[in-house]
Amino acid sequence: MQGRMYQVTGTIGPQRHRQPSPPPAAAAAAKRSVRAASVSDVTPLQRRQQQRPAVAEAPLPTLLDGISPRTYTAAEVFQCHEESLFYSQTLEKLLPTVARREAQRAGPGPSAEAARGAAAAGGGETCGGGSKRPIEVLKVVEFGTGDGTPVIRALAKTSFDGVIHGFELNPTSADLAHKQADSAGLSGRYQVHTGCFYKGTSEPASPAAGARCIISNPPYLPAPDDDILMPELFGGQDGAGLTRDLLSLGFPYAILLVASYSNPASVLRHAAAAGYRVVDYLVTPLSFGTYSSQPKVRQWISEMRARGEAFYSGNTYLLSGVLFEKTDLPPLRADGNHRNHGTNGNGHGTNGHSGNGRAAGSLTVYHNAEGSDPVDGQQADDIAPTLLALLTAL
């Protein structure tokens, strides 16, 4: 994830350590495969997936329970630079998209800056006729903050004006995140809480109550069991168990990282069954790292590949940052006033890491759902088939 300690259902673990970027030949092959993918590619693939036994899609929560907590020291914060940068870029691009879509659904209203000020003063905004209308700041919750680097980096590069509540069980890691946010002058926009994510997001009195979006880079390492080099990175036998659990929580929006070797078709099936569609994504190639290259794990991933559950080429797999949106949300409303709401200033149409990444940044594909304004009443298309085609292209 992001060179940080990491919460896994009551457990904190260090990050995945990555090897160097994909070799030029493999990266070029990934780029060609990604560019060649289209919606038409996914139909035969879906038929093949439907013919295979489906992996059981866990109800809320399974992997989120029953793991003994373990506290790590600051010295045990492992670095995962490439994945951290990609997670940061995903948030930089997709958080403003969530804010914009919420604004288009709500219609004209006060700015978030005014909302934060009014909320701090304990008041509301006076409307015509002297009445006060409720002012709400867009709330986002993060499952596992670690040291907070990706969120802090993303907030520094975008005008996203909501508030992110990060939850971290490990006090050492949470303290690092809090200090970094404070040093960056972002403690008002990124509030780090030491404690249980589920308690912190479900209690009515919690400052995170009523959050509209969940963000996370969950553990996605597949293995036959958690007896691996870094058990905290275990994402279930197909690597997608915790991701499915997070989607089962039912937030209106979810921004999650999904790996091509961790049964991506199962994640998208589960998302659809939970009432989500995919409205935007980024995809980038990464190299297998220390933990995914452990012989036991690599052999398991190879067996998953034979079953059509894992996709990679040589030492390269694809990692995606995906924006899921509930299908029962109100339709979008065209509103020119929100055209640049929360944009990052460097354009959504770029396919690179905007200068903030080394991990095959020039190969990153950004779908860019915000490239054009919606028509009144228009609902977003579900682009899950296109994403599936990309993630299974290797």
Q: Which two tokens stand for residue 23?
A: 């070799």
**Residue range 232-245, pLDDT digits in tens:** 899 999 999 999 99
> Which residues 6+ apart lie within 8 Å of 39 measured at CB?
385, 386, 389
Answer yes or no: is pLDDT of 227 > 70: yes
Is 60 exceeded by the pLDDT of residue 105?
yes
**Residue 235, pLDDT score:** 96
Answer for the pair 239, 220: CB distance below 8 angstroms, yes or no: yes
**Summary mean pLDDT of the chain:** 76
Note the residue count of the chain.
Answer: 394
pLDDT of residue 170: 85
User: Does residue 130 lie in a domain region?
Assistant: no
- Does 1 have pLDDT greater than 50? no
Domain containing residue 30: CATH number: 3.40.50.150
Under 8 Å between Cβ of 15 and 78 = yes
**How many domains are there within the chain?**
1
What is the model's pLDDT at position 229?
A: 94
* 142 close to 167: Cβ distance less than 8 angstroms: yes
- d(C-alpha 293, C-alpha 300), whole Å: 10
In a domain, 1, yes or no: no
Residue 192, pLDDT > 80, answer yes
Whether 117 is in a domain gets the answer no
- Asked whether residue 140 is domain-assigned, the answer is yes
Cα(283)–Cα(319) distance, rounded to whole angstroms?
A: 6
Q: Report the candidate in 335, 352, 333 with the shortest Cα–Cα distance to residue 344.
A: 352
- pTM for the model stands at 0.75
Q: Which of 243-252, 313-322, 333-342 has the lowest mean pLDDT?
A: 333-342
For residue 88, being part of any structural domain is answered with yes
Question: Which of 112-116, 288-292, 294-298, 377-381 is the least confident region?
Answer: 112-116
Answer yes or no: is 131 within a domain: no
Contacts within 8 Å (CB) and 24+ apart, 55-58? 55/237, 55/238, 55/240, 55/263, 55/266, 55/309, 57/244, 57/266, 57/269, 57/270, 57/273, 58/236, 58/241, 58/244, 58/245, 58/248
Decide if 322 is inside a domain. Answer: yes
pLDDT digits (tens, 9 = 90+) for 339-368: 444 444 333 344 443 333 344 445 678 887
How far apart, in whole angstroms, are the C-alpha atoms of residue 196 and residue 70?
A: 14
* Residue 126 counted as domain residue: no
Give the pLDDT confidence of 37-89 residue by residue, as tens digits.
433 444 444 444 444 444 444 444 444 544 444 555 555 544 578 999 999 99
Q: Which residues span the domain enclosing 208?
A: 6-106+136-391
